[in-house]
Amino acid sequence: MTNLISSFASGVLLSAALIMAIGAQNLFVLRQGLRREHVGAIVLFCGCADAVLIAAGVAGVGAFLGAMPQLTAALTFGGAAFLTCYGVKALRRMASSDAMVVGAGPDVTLRRALAAAAAFTFLNPHVYLDTVLLMGAAGSSQPAELRPIFVAGACAASFSWFAALGVGARLLEPVFARPAAWRVLDAFVGIVMLTLAASLLARGITMLS
């Protein structure tokens, strides 16, 4: 029983430590939570995607990807291009003279919202580094019979975090009732996205050199 609790807790703690870092995916979930657009679907998608990647990493896919630097480089450049486009879009929103309040602006369809969530998830090499490689290595070090428990703990932390981020964003609505707050958020999003894109581009160039 102690081993079961220890393995579950290890999965929870490692997953929480990795997923709570500010990143493109988290910022997207936060923004959709503030707009109350397809929050449940996005939270479910992000949680399920993490669960699949974590399970795959523990099952051995992490070692497979680690042996294919060309694929990693391609994902890196693709992620850099996507983050650059989204970062520029956020900065353009910041510079817009249109009033921005919660719920303002054109609605995003469920298909487009899920497509964006998929891009933030699968075009971000950091996701593979965290969920597949690091979580996979940690989970593989567990005894075979305890690996499903470790994966369950990691997945529980992931689902809990995305749910808290998407639903908890509503608590910030009084702050984001002011257009200036949206401009600050978009400026922050744009800077983070472009910074991540630059780091990915530099990493991709290093891989090919």
DSSP 3-state of 97: coil
Q: What is the CA radius of gyration of the chain?
A: 18
Please report, for residues 106, 151, 208, the alpha-carbon distance to residue 136 in angstroms, rounded to integers and kept in the order given: 40, 9, 25
pLDDT < 70: residue spans in the chain: 1, 21-22, 61-69, 71-72, 75, 79, 97-106, 141
Q: Which two tokens stand for residue 13?
A: 């703690």
DSSP 3-state of 104: coil
Q: What is the pTM of this model?
A: 0.72
Cα(121)–Cα(193) distance, integer angstroms: 14
CA nearest 159: which of 33, 51, 30? 51
pLDDT tens readout for residues 69-122: 676 677 678 767 877 887 888 888 777 745 444 445 557 789 999 999 998 888
